[in-house]
Protein backbone atom coordinates (compact mmCIF):
# COMPACT_ATOMS: atom_id res chain seq x y z
CA UNK A 1 0.00 0.00 0.00
CA UNK A 2 1.44 3.32 -1.00
CA UNK A 3 1.78 6.01 1.61
CA UNK A 4 -0.70 8.87 1.25
CA UNK A 5 0.32 12.47 0.91
CA UNK A 6 -0.93 15.26 3.15
CA UNK A 7 -2.99 18.19 1.94
CA UNK A 8 -3.70 21.40 3.86
CA UNK A 9 -7.21 22.78 3.88
CA UNK A 10 -6.99 26.41 4.91
CA UNK A 11 -10.17 27.68 6.63
CA UNK A 12 -10.77 31.43 6.41
CA UNK A 13 -14.24 32.95 6.06
CA UNK A 14 -15.76 29.56 5.44
CA UNK A 15 -15.97 28.03 8.90
CA UNK A 16 -18.17 25.10 7.91
CA UNK A 17 -17.91 21.54 6.64
CA UNK A 18 -20.98 21.45 4.39
CA UNK A 19 -20.99 23.11 0.97
CA UNK A 20 -17.28 23.72 1.22
CA UNK A 21 -15.81 23.45 -2.26
CA UNK A 22 -12.17 23.54 -1.16
CA UNK A 23 -12.73 20.82 1.42
CA UNK A 24 -14.51 18.66 -1.10
CA UNK A 25 -11.66 19.03 -3.58
CA UNK A 26 -9.15 18.19 -0.88
CA UNK A 27 -11.06 15.03 0.00
CA UNK A 28 -11.24 14.05 -3.65
CA UNK A 29 -7.46 13.96 -3.87
CA UNK A 30 -7.70 10.88 -1.66
CA UNK A 31 -4.97 12.22 0.60
CA UNK A 32 -4.85 12.93 4.31
CA UNK A 33 -6.55 16.17 5.27
CA UNK A 34 -4.95 18.69 7.64
CA UNK A 35 -7.43 21.46 8.47
CA UNK A 36 -5.75 24.72 9.47
CA UNK A 37 -6.72 28.22 10.58
CA UNK A 38 -4.25 31.11 10.55
CA UNK A 39 -4.85 34.22 12.65
CA UNK A 40 -3.07 36.95 10.72
CA UNK A 41 -3.58 39.98 12.86
CA UNK A 42 -1.40 42.55 11.17
CA UNK A 43 -1.67 41.38 7.66
CA UNK A 44 -5.35 41.55 6.81
CA UNK A 45 -5.59 45.23 7.57
CA UNK A 46 -8.85 46.15 5.89
CA UNK A 47 -10.43 43.03 7.18
CA UNK A 48 -8.79 42.85 10.60
CA UNK A 49 -11.65 42.13 12.90
CA UNK A 50 -13.42 44.40 15.33
CA UNK A 51 -14.01 43.40 18.92
CA UNK A 52 -17.49 41.93 18.44
CA UNK A 53 -16.39 39.92 15.43
CA UNK A 54 -13.42 38.54 17.36
CA UNK A 55 -15.80 37.33 20.00
CA UNK A 56 -17.82 35.60 17.30
CA UNK A 57 -14.71 34.11 15.70
CA UNK A 58 -13.66 32.57 19.01
CA UNK A 59 -16.99 30.77 19.28
CA UNK A 60 -16.95 29.81 15.63
CA UNK A 61 -13.49 28.26 15.80
CA UNK A 62 -14.55 26.34 18.90
CA UNK A 63 -17.54 25.00 17.05
CA UNK A 64 -15.56 24.09 13.93
CA UNK A 65 -12.99 22.26 16.06
CA UNK A 66 -15.74 20.18 17.65
CA UNK A 67 -17.30 19.39 14.29
CA UNK A 68 -13.93 18.32 12.89
CA UNK A 69 -13.25 16.12 15.91
CA UNK A 70 -16.52 14.32 15.26
CA UNK A 71 -15.07 13.34 11.89
CA UNK A 72 -11.90 12.05 13.51
CA UNK A 73 -9.98 15.17 12.55
CA UNK A 74 -8.65 18.34 14.18
CA UNK A 75 -8.23 22.06 13.53
CA UNK A 76 -4.61 23.20 13.58
CA UNK A 77 -4.40 26.83 14.68
CA UNK A 78 -1.44 29.11 14.12
CA UNK A 79 -0.79 32.81 14.38
CA UNK A 80 1.34 34.96 12.09
CA UNK A 81 1.90 35.95 8.50
CA UNK A 82 -0.09 33.60 6.32
CA UNK A 83 2.66 32.75 3.85
CA UNK A 84 5.23 32.07 6.59
CA UNK A 85 2.82 29.87 8.49
CA UNK A 86 1.86 27.97 5.36
CA UNK A 87 5.54 27.36 4.57
CA UNK A 88 6.17 26.13 8.11
CA UNK A 89 3.22 23.79 7.98
CA UNK A 90 4.14 22.49 4.53
CA UNK A 91 7.64 21.70 5.76
CA UNK A 92 6.47 20.10 9.00
CA UNK A 93 3.81 17.92 7.40
CA UNK A 94 5.44 17.25 4.03
CA UNK A 95 2.14 18.28 2.49
CA UNK A 96 2.22 18.98 -1.24
CA UNK A 97 -0.98 20.95 -1.63
CA UNK A 98 -2.99 23.78 -0.07
CA UNK A 99 -6.67 24.33 -0.84
CA UNK A 100 -8.84 27.25 0.25
CA UNK A 101 -12.01 29.17 -0.56
CA UNK A 102 -11.63 32.66 -1.92
CA UNK A 103 -12.11 35.88 0.05
CA UNK A 104 -12.80 39.16 -1.74
CA UNK A 105 -11.41 41.94 0.46
CA UNK A 106 -8.92 43.84 -1.75
CA UNK A 107 -5.94 43.35 0.57
CA UNK A 108 -6.68 39.66 0.91
CA UNK A 109 -6.99 39.21 -2.84
CA UNK A 110 -3.52 40.72 -3.20
CA UNK A 111 -2.01 38.61 -0.47
CA UNK A 112 -3.56 35.40 -1.74
CA UNK A 113 -2.24 36.06 -5.23
CA UNK A 114 1.27 36.37 -3.86
CA UNK A 115 0.86 33.21 -1.83
CA UNK A 116 -0.35 31.27 -4.84
CA UNK A 117 2.49 32.48 -7.02
CA UNK A 118 5.06 31.65 -4.37
CA UNK A 119 3.69 28.18 -3.71
CA UNK A 120 3.44 27.34 -7.41
CA UNK A 121 7.03 28.39 -7.94
CA UNK A 122 7.96 25.95 -5.17
CA UNK A 123 6.04 23.10 -6.75
CA UNK A 124 3.25 23.12 -4.22
CA UNK A 125 -0.25 22.75 -5.54
CA UNK A 126 -2.30 25.78 -4.46
CA UNK A 127 -5.95 25.90 -5.46
CA UNK A 128 -8.71 28.32 -4.54
CA UNK A 129 -12.47 27.88 -4.91
CA UNK A 130 -15.67 29.85 -4.73
CA UNK A 131 -17.78 28.92 -1.77
CA UNK A 132 -18.81 32.33 -0.46
CA UNK A 133 -20.72 33.86 -3.33
CA UNK A 134 -23.45 32.81 -5.72
CA UNK A 135 -21.53 34.36 -8.61
CA UNK A 136 -17.90 35.34 -9.04
CA UNK A 137 -17.73 39.14 -9.35
CA UNK A 138 -15.78 39.03 -12.59
CA UNK A 139 -18.44 36.94 -14.32
CA UNK A 140 -21.36 39.39 -14.03
CA UNK A 141 -21.01 42.20 -16.56
CA UNK A 142 -23.39 44.34 -18.55
CA UNK A 143 -23.68 44.31 -22.32
CA UNK A 144 -20.70 46.67 -22.61
CA UNK A 145 -18.58 44.20 -20.61
CA UNK A 146 -18.47 46.61 -17.69
CA UNK A 147 -19.49 46.06 -14.05
CA UNK A 148 -23.07 47.00 -13.15
CA UNK A 149 -23.56 50.01 -10.93
CA UNK A 150 -27.30 49.72 -10.54
CA UNK A 151 -28.76 46.90 -8.53
CA UNK A 152 -31.86 45.90 -10.47
CA UNK A 153 -30.18 45.19 -13.82
CA UNK A 154 -27.34 43.48 -11.91
CA UNK A 155 -29.74 41.16 -10.16
CA UNK A 156 -31.70 40.51 -13.35
CA UNK A 157 -28.48 39.46 -15.04
CA UNK A 158 -27.67 37.21 -12.08
CA UNK A 159 -31.05 35.52 -12.24
CA UNK A 160 -30.40 34.26 -15.76
CA UNK A 161 -27.48 32.18 -14.49
CA UNK A 162 -27.49 28.85 -12.77
CA UNK A 163 -26.38 28.43 -9.19
CA UNK A 164 -24.23 25.52 -8.09
CA UNK A 165 -26.07 23.00 -5.94
CA UNK A 166 -24.69 22.84 -2.38
CA UNK A 167 -22.46 19.95 -1.35
CA UNK A 168 -23.31 17.92 1.74
CA UNK A 169 -20.91 17.46 4.66
CA UNK A 170 -18.23 14.79 4.54
CA UNK A 171 -18.78 11.80 6.80
CA UNK A 172 -15.16 11.25 7.59
CA UNK A 173 -11.79 12.91 7.05
CA UNK A 174 -8.56 10.98 6.52
CA UNK A 175 -6.08 12.00 9.20
CA UNK A 176 -2.33 12.37 8.84
CA UNK A 177 -0.06 9.86 10.56
CA UNK A 178 1.26 12.70 12.70
CA UNK A 179 -0.49 15.98 13.57
CA UNK A 180 1.48 19.23 13.53
CA UNK A 181 1.43 21.35 16.66
CA UNK A 182 -1.47 23.73 17.23
CA UNK A 183 -2.18 26.73 19.37
CA UNK A 184 -5.24 26.62 21.53
CA UNK A 185 -8.08 28.92 20.54
CA UNK A 186 -7.69 30.93 23.72
CA UNK A 187 -4.08 31.70 22.76
CA UNK A 188 -5.45 33.97 20.02
CA UNK A 189 -6.93 36.22 22.73
CA UNK A 190 -10.07 36.85 20.76
CA UNK A 191 -12.35 37.14 23.75
CA UNK A 192 -12.64 40.51 25.46
CA UNK A 193 -10.44 41.10 28.47
CA UNK A 194 -13.19 42.93 30.27
CA UNK A 195 -16.52 41.29 30.59
CA UNK A 196 -18.71 43.10 28.09
CA UNK A 197 -19.85 40.07 26.14
CA UNK A 198 -22.82 38.99 28.28
CA UNK A 199 -25.31 40.46 25.82
CA UNK A 200 -23.64 38.71 22.90
CA UNK A 201 -23.74 35.37 24.71
CA UNK A 202 -27.43 35.77 25.36
CA UNK A 203 -28.24 36.87 21.82
CA UNK A 204 -26.38 34.28 19.74
CA UNK A 205 -25.54 30.64 19.25
CA UNK A 206 -22.52 30.34 17.00
CA UNK A 207 -21.36 27.69 14.54
CA UNK A 208 -22.48 25.65 11.57
CA UNK A 209 -25.19 23.78 13.44
CA UNK A 210 -26.54 27.03 14.90
CA UNK A 211 -26.55 28.55 11.42
CA UNK A 212 -28.63 25.67 10.07
CA UNK A 213 -31.06 26.05 12.98
CA UNK A 214 -31.27 29.77 12.32
CA UNK A 215 -32.08 29.10 8.67
CA UNK A 216 -34.75 26.56 9.56
CA UNK A 217 -36.28 28.97 12.00
CA UNK A 218 -36.33 31.67 9.32
CA UNK A 219 -37.95 29.29 6.80
CA UNK A 220 -40.68 28.47 9.30
CA UNK A 221 -41.26 31.81 10.99
CA UNK A 222 -39.84 34.64 8.93
CA UNK A 223 -39.59 34.25 5.18
CA UNK A 224 -43.31 33.85 4.46
CA UNK A 225 -44.03 37.21 6.07
CA UNK A 226 -40.82 38.80 4.91
CA UNK A 227 -42.30 41.30 2.53
CA UNK A 228 -44.62 42.62 5.17
CA UNK A 229 -42.46 42.44 8.29
CA UNK A 230 -38.91 42.97 7.11
CA UNK A 231 -38.97 46.63 8.12
CA UNK A 232 -40.34 46.06 11.60
CA UNK A 233 -37.62 46.00 14.25
CA UNK A 234 -40.24 45.29 16.91
CA UNK A 235 -41.16 41.94 15.31
CA UNK A 236 -39.27 38.81 14.34
CA UNK A 237 -39.28 39.89 10.73
CA UNK A 238 -35.78 39.09 9.48
CA UNK A 239 -33.60 35.98 9.38
CA UNK A 240 -30.55 37.27 11.30
CA UNK A 241 -28.30 35.10 9.17
CA UNK A 242 -25.79 37.89 8.49
CA UNK A 243 -23.07 36.90 10.99
CA UNK A 244 -23.26 33.26 9.93
CA UNK A 245 -22.91 34.32 6.32
CA UNK A 246 -19.97 36.55 7.11
CA UNK A 247 -18.01 33.79 8.80
CA UNK A 248 -19.16 31.21 6.31
CA UNK A 249 -20.99 29.05 8.82
CA UNK A 250 -23.63 28.86 6.13
CA UNK A 251 -23.26 29.51 2.40
CA UNK A 252 -25.49 31.68 0.21
CA UNK A 253 -26.07 28.65 -2.02
CA UNK A 254 -27.51 26.71 0.91
CA UNK A 255 -29.86 29.57 1.71
CA UNK A 256 -30.77 29.98 -1.95
CA UNK A 257 -31.79 26.37 -2.42
CA UNK A 258 -33.56 26.12 0.93
CA UNK A 259 -35.77 29.10 0.10
CA UNK A 260 -36.33 27.94 -3.47
CA UNK A 261 -37.55 24.55 -2.32
CA UNK A 262 -39.96 26.24 0.09
CA UNK A 263 -41.32 28.22 -2.86
CA UNK A 264 -41.81 25.01 -4.84
CA UNK A 265 -43.59 23.40 -1.88
CA UNK A 266 -45.94 26.30 -1.40
CA UNK A 267 -46.51 28.87 -4.10
CA UNK A 268 -47.98 31.41 -1.67
CA UNK A 269 -44.44 31.66 -0.38
CA UNK A 270 -43.18 32.94 -3.71
CA UNK A 271 -43.42 36.69 -3.42
CA UNK A 272 -41.90 36.92 0.02
CA UNK A 273 -39.38 34.21 -0.78
CA UNK A 274 -38.14 36.14 -3.78
CA UNK A 275 -38.02 39.38 -1.80
CA UNK A 276 -35.86 37.57 0.71
CA UNK A 277 -33.54 36.13 -1.95
CA UNK A 278 -33.18 39.62 -3.37
CA UNK A 279 -31.36 40.49 -0.16
CA UNK A 280 -28.84 37.77 -0.94
CA UNK A 281 -28.58 39.65 -4.24
CA UNK A 282 -27.58 42.80 -2.37
CA UNK A 283 -24.84 40.87 -0.64
CA UNK A 284 -23.63 39.73 -4.05
CA UNK A 285 -23.84 43.28 -5.37
CA UNK A 286 -21.76 44.57 -2.45
CA UNK A 287 -19.00 42.04 -3.18
CA UNK A 288 -19.21 42.78 -6.88
CA UNK A 289 -18.75 46.53 -6.27
CA UNK A 290 -15.89 46.01 -3.82
CA UNK A 291 -14.14 43.82 -6.36
CA UNK A 292 -14.46 46.31 -9.22
CA UNK A 293 -14.03 49.48 -7.15
CA UNK A 294 -11.58 48.52 -4.38
CA UNK A 295 -10.84 52.14 -3.56
CA UNK A 296 -14.36 52.45 -2.11
CA UNK A 297 -13.14 50.77 1.08
CA UNK A 298 -12.35 54.26 2.33
CA UNK A 299 -13.09 56.63 -0.56
CA UNK A 300 -16.47 57.68 -1.91
CA UNK A 301 -17.32 56.10 -5.24
CA UNK A 302 -18.80 59.40 -6.40
CA UNK A 303 -15.71 61.52 -6.44
CA UNK A 304 -17.37 64.86 -5.83
CA UNK A 305 -18.10 63.63 -2.30
CA UNK A 306 -14.41 63.98 -1.53
CA UNK A 307 -15.23 67.70 -1.23
CA UNK A 308 -18.14 67.20 1.16
CA UNK A 309 -17.85 69.46 4.24
CA UNK A 310 -17.90 66.73 6.89
CA UNK A 311 -17.83 67.93 10.47
CA UNK A 312 -15.58 66.70 13.24
CA UNK A 313 -17.51 66.64 16.45
CA UNK A 314 -16.27 64.20 19.04
CA UNK A 315 -19.10 64.87 21.45
CA UNK A 316 -21.83 64.25 18.92
CA UNK A 317 -20.08 61.15 17.64
CA UNK A 318 -19.85 59.85 21.17
CA UNK A 319 -23.51 60.58 21.89
CA UNK A 320 -24.41 58.65 18.75
CA UNK A 321 -22.17 55.73 19.64
CA UNK A 322 -23.55 55.50 23.15
CA UNK A 323 -27.20 55.87 22.19
CA UNK A 324 -27.61 59.23 23.88
CA UNK A 325 -28.75 61.47 21.03
CA UNK A 326 -32.15 62.17 22.53
CA UNK A 327 -33.87 60.66 19.47
CA UNK A 328 -35.46 57.48 20.85
CA UNK A 329 -35.32 55.37 17.68
CA UNK A 330 -31.68 56.27 17.09
CA UNK A 331 -30.74 55.53 20.69
CA UNK A 332 -32.66 52.25 20.67
CA UNK A 333 -30.74 51.09 17.62
CA UNK A 334 -27.33 52.10 18.92
CA UNK A 335 -28.01 50.37 22.22
CA UNK A 336 -29.24 47.21 20.52
CA UNK A 337 -25.98 47.24 18.58
CA UNK A 338 -23.88 47.64 21.71
CA UNK A 339 -25.76 44.98 23.63
CA UNK A 340 -26.09 42.31 20.96
CA UNK A 341 -23.57 43.08 18.22
CA UNK A 342 -26.40 43.43 15.74
CA UNK A 343 -28.98 45.98 14.63
CA UNK A 344 -32.09 45.64 12.51
CA UNK A 345 -31.47 46.83 8.96
CA UNK A 346 -34.24 49.42 8.96
CA UNK A 347 -32.75 50.93 12.11
CA UNK A 348 -29.25 50.79 10.61
CA UNK A 349 -30.51 53.10 7.89
CA UNK A 350 -32.11 55.45 10.37
CA UNK A 351 -29.05 55.74 12.63
CA UNK A 352 -26.71 56.01 9.63
CA UNK A 353 -28.79 58.75 8.05
CA UNK A 354 -28.81 60.56 11.40
CA UNK A 355 -25.02 60.45 11.70
CA UNK A 356 -24.31 61.41 8.13
CA UNK A 357 -27.11 63.86 7.34
CA UNK A 358 -28.16 65.31 10.69
CA UNK A 359 -24.77 65.43 12.42
CA UNK A 360 -22.80 65.75 9.14
CA UNK A 361 -20.23 63.32 10.50
CA UNK A 362 -18.47 61.31 7.80
CA UNK A 363 -19.71 57.89 6.79
CA UNK A 364 -16.22 56.55 7.43
CA UNK A 365 -16.62 57.35 11.15
CA UNK A 366 -19.88 55.46 11.20
CA UNK A 367 -18.42 52.63 9.21
CA UNK A 368 -15.58 52.25 11.72
CA UNK A 369 -17.97 52.09 14.66
CA UNK A 370 -20.14 49.49 12.96
CA UNK A 371 -16.99 47.57 12.08
CA UNK A 372 -15.97 47.37 15.69
CA UNK A 373 -19.35 46.59 17.19
CA UNK A 374 -21.18 44.37 14.69
CA UNK A 375 -20.85 40.61 14.87
CA UNK A 376 -21.75 40.55 11.18
CA UNK A 377 -19.20 43.25 10.24
CA UNK A 378 -18.40 42.58 6.62
CA UNK A 379 -16.26 44.91 4.55
CA UNK A 380 -18.29 44.73 1.35
CA UNK A 381 -21.69 45.09 3.01
CA UNK A 382 -20.62 47.71 5.51
CA UNK A 383 -19.05 49.92 2.85
CA UNK A 384 -22.00 49.55 0.50
CA UNK A 385 -24.49 50.37 3.24
CA UNK A 386 -22.70 53.46 4.47
CA UNK A 387 -21.95 54.82 1.02
CA UNK A 388 -25.54 54.23 0.03
CA UNK A 389 -26.82 56.19 3.01
CA UNK A 390 -24.31 58.99 2.55
CA UNK A 391 -25.36 59.23 -1.08
CA UNK A 392 -21.84 58.72 -2.40
CA UNK A 393 -22.05 55.07 -3.44
CA UNK A 394 -23.30 53.11 -6.43
CA UNK A 395 -27.06 53.24 -6.79
CA UNK A 396 -27.10 55.51 -3.76
CA UNK A 397 -30.02 57.08 -2.02
CA UNK A 398 -30.94 60.39 -3.69
CA UNK A 399 -29.45 63.36 -1.89
CA UNK A 400 -32.82 64.67 -0.79
CA UNK A 401 -33.69 61.43 0.95
CA UNK A 402 -33.01 62.40 4.53
CA UNK A 403 -34.69 60.08 7.02
CA UNK A 404 -36.87 61.74 9.59
CA UNK A 405 -36.11 59.87 12.82
CA UNK A 406 -39.55 60.60 14.23
CA UNK A 407 -41.71 59.59 11.28
CA UNK A 408 -39.55 56.52 10.61
CA UNK A 409 -40.10 55.40 14.20
CA UNK A 410 -43.84 56.03 14.00
CA UNK A 411 -44.06 54.06 10.81
CA UNK A 412 -41.88 51.05 11.62
CA UNK A 413 -42.22 50.76 15.40
CA UNK A 414 -45.95 51.54 15.59
CA UNK A 415 -46.44 50.45 19.20
CA UNK A 416 -43.10 51.82 20.34
CA UNK A 417 -42.16 48.37 21.58
CA UNK A 418 -38.72 48.41 20.02
CA UNK A 419 -37.94 51.73 21.70
CA UNK A 420 -39.32 50.53 25.02
CA UNK A 421 -37.15 47.46 24.88
CA UNK A 422 -33.86 49.27 24.32
CA UNK A 423 -34.61 52.62 25.93
CA UNK A 424 -36.42 51.43 29.05
CA UNK A 425 -36.31 54.86 30.68
CA UNK A 426 -39.06 55.85 28.22
CA UNK A 427 -41.19 52.75 28.68
CA UNK A 428 -44.03 54.60 30.37
CA UNK A 429 -44.40 57.13 27.57
CA UNK A 430 -47.05 56.38 25.00
CA UNK A 431 -47.52 57.35 21.38
CA UNK A 432 -46.80 59.90 20.03
CA UNK A 433 -44.55 61.21 22.80
CA UNK A 434 -42.33 58.16 22.92
CA UNK A 435 -41.09 59.12 19.45
CA UNK A 436 -40.46 62.76 20.38
CA UNK A 437 -40.28 63.25 24.15
CA UNK A 438 -39.12 66.86 23.73
CA UNK A 439 -42.63 67.77 22.54
CA UNK A 440 -44.42 66.00 25.36
CA UNK A 441 -46.34 68.19 27.83
CA UNK A 442 -44.73 68.52 31.22
CA UNK A 443 -47.40 66.55 33.06
CA UNK A 444 -47.09 63.61 30.63
CA UNK A 445 -43.35 63.48 31.14
CA UNK A 446 -43.81 63.66 34.88
CA UNK A 447 -46.35 60.83 34.93
CA UNK A 448 -43.97 58.70 32.88
CA UNK A 449 -41.10 59.45 35.22
CA UNK A 450 -39.07 61.11 32.47
CA UNK A 451 -36.88 64.11 33.24
CA UNK A 452 -35.27 65.33 30.06
CA UNK A 453 -31.61 66.04 30.61
CA UNK A 454 -31.61 63.73 33.63
CA UNK A 455 -33.26 60.38 33.00
CA UNK A 456 -33.06 60.72 29.22
CA UNK A 457 -30.95 63.11 27.11
CA UNK A 458 -32.22 66.32 25.61
CA UNK A 459 -31.92 65.86 21.84
CA UNK A 460 -28.53 66.96 20.60
CA UNK A 461 -29.80 68.52 17.38
CA UNK A 462 -33.04 69.74 15.84
CA UNK A 463 -33.85 67.56 12.86
CA UNK A 464 -35.68 70.20 10.82
CA UNK A 465 -32.81 72.68 10.83
CA UNK A 466 -30.23 69.89 10.48
CA UNK A 467 -32.03 68.80 7.35
CA UNK A 468 -31.79 72.27 5.83
CA UNK A 469 -28.05 72.35 6.58
CA UNK A 470 -27.55 68.93 5.03
CA UNK A 471 -29.29 70.03 1.83
CA UNK A 472 -27.07 73.10 1.70
CA UNK A 473 -23.95 70.98 2.22
CA UNK A 474 -25.05 68.69 -0.61
CA UNK A 475 -25.72 71.71 -2.79
CA UNK A 476 -22.17 72.91 -2.11
CA UNK A 477 -20.51 69.91 -3.80
CA UNK A 478 -22.55 69.95 -7.00
Partner DNA sequence: TTTTGAGTTGTTCGA
Partner DNA sequence: GTCGAACAACTCAAA
Our finding on whether 195 is near DNA (CB under 7 A) is no
Least spacing, CB of residue 412 vs DNA, in Å:
8
| The only residue of 156, 172, 307, 451 in contact with DNA, by rule CB under 7 A | 156
Beta-sheet pairing, 32-39 with 125-129 = unpaired
End-to-end alpha carbon distance in the chain? 74
Q: Are 320 and 359 in contact (CB under 8 A)?
A: yes
Residue 467: in which H helix or E strand, if any? helix 463-476
CB of 173 or CB of 460, closer to DNA: 460
DSSP assigned state of 97: E
Q: Phi and psi (nearest 5°) for 38?
A: -115, 125
| The only residue of 41, 91, 150, 159 in contact with DNA, by rule CB under 7 A | 150
CB of 113 or CB of 156, closer to DNA: 156
CA angle 228, 161, 293 (to 5 degrees): 80
Q: Which residues of 152-187 are buried (b: 16+ CB within 10 A; e: fewer)?
A: eebbebbeeeeeeebbeebeebbebeeebeeeebee
CB of 122 or CB of 142, closer to DNA: 142
CA dist., res. 118 & res. 127, Å (int):
12
| The only residue of 146, 171, 202, 314 in contact with DNA, by rule CB under 7 A | 146
Least spacing, CB of residue 218 vs DNA, in Å:
17
Least spacing, CB of residue 162 vs DNA, in Å:
18
Taking CB under 7 A as the binding criterion, the range among 181-189, 262-270, 449-457, 460-468 that sits at the site for DNA is 460-468
Q: Which residues of 324-355 are buried (b: 16+ CB within 10 A; e: fewer)?
A: bbbbbbbbbbbbbbbbbbbbbbbbbbbbbbbb
CB of 117 or CB of 139, closer to DNA: 139
CB of 54 or CB of 288, closer to DNA: 288
CA dist., res. 42 & res. 38, Å (int):
12
CA dist., res. 350 & res. 330, Å (int):
7
Burial of 246 (0-12, 13-18, 19+ CB in 10 A): buried
Our finding on whether 148 is near DNA (CB under 7 A) is yes
DSSP assigned state of 193: S
Lay out the site mask for DNA across 279-318 (x = CB under 7 A, - = otherwise): x--x------------------------------------
CB of 99 or CB of 155, closer to DNA: 155
DSSP three-state, residue 7: strand
CB of 111 or CB of 463, closer to DNA: 463
Least spacing, CB of residue 349 vs DNA, in Å:
6
CB of 152 or CB of 476, closer to DNA: 152
Q: Are 310 and 474 in contact (CB under 8 A)?
A: no
CA dist., res. 18 & res. 387, Å (int):
34
Q: Are 38 and 79 in contact (CB under 8 A)?
A: yes
Our finding on whether 149 is near DNA (CB under 7 A) is yes
238 closest CA partner among 214, 256, 257: 214
Our finding on whether 143 is near DNA (CB under 7 A) is yes
Our finding on whether 177 is near DNA (CB under 7 A) is no
| The only residue of 346, 420, 436, 459 in contact with DNA, by rule CB under 7 A | 346
Our finding on whether 145 is near DNA (CB under 7 A) is no
CB of 98 or CB of 255, closer to DNA: 255
Least spacing, CB of residue 55 vs DNA, in Å:
26
Q: At what angle do helices 328-340 and 363-373 cross, to 10 degrees?
A: 40
Lay out the site mask for DNA across 206-245 (x = CB under 7 A, - = otherwise): -------------------------x--------------
Least spacing, CB of residue 38 vs DNA, in Å:
32
Residues 35-94 that bind DNA (CB under 7 A): none
CA dist., res. 291 & res. 283, Å (int):
12
Binding residues for DNA, total number by CB under 7 A:
38
Our finding on whether 24 is near DNA (CB under 7 A) is no
Residues 348-367 that bind DNA (CB under 7 A): 349
Lay out the site mask for DNA across 376-415 (x = CB under 7 A, - = otherwise): ---------x--x------x-xxxxxxxx--xx--x----
Least spacing, CB of residue 465 vs DNA, in Å:
11
Chain residues in the site for DNA (CB under 7 A): 142-144, 146-154, 156-157, 231, 279, 282, 345-346, 349, 385, 388, 395, 397-404, 407-408, 411, 463-464, 467, 478
Amino acid sequence: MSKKNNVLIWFRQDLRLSDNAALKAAIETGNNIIPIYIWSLDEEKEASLGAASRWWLHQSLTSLTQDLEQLGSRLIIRQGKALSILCELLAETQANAVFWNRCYEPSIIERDKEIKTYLHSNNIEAKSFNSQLLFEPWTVLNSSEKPFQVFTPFWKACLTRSITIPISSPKHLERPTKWPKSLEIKDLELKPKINWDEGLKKAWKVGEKAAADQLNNALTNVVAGYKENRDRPDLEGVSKLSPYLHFGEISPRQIWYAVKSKIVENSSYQESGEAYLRQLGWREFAYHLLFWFPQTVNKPLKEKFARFPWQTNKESLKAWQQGKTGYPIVDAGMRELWATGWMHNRVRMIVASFLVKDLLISWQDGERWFWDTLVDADLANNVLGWQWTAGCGADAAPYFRIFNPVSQAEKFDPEGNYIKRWVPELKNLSSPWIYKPWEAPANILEQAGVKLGQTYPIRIIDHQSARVKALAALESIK
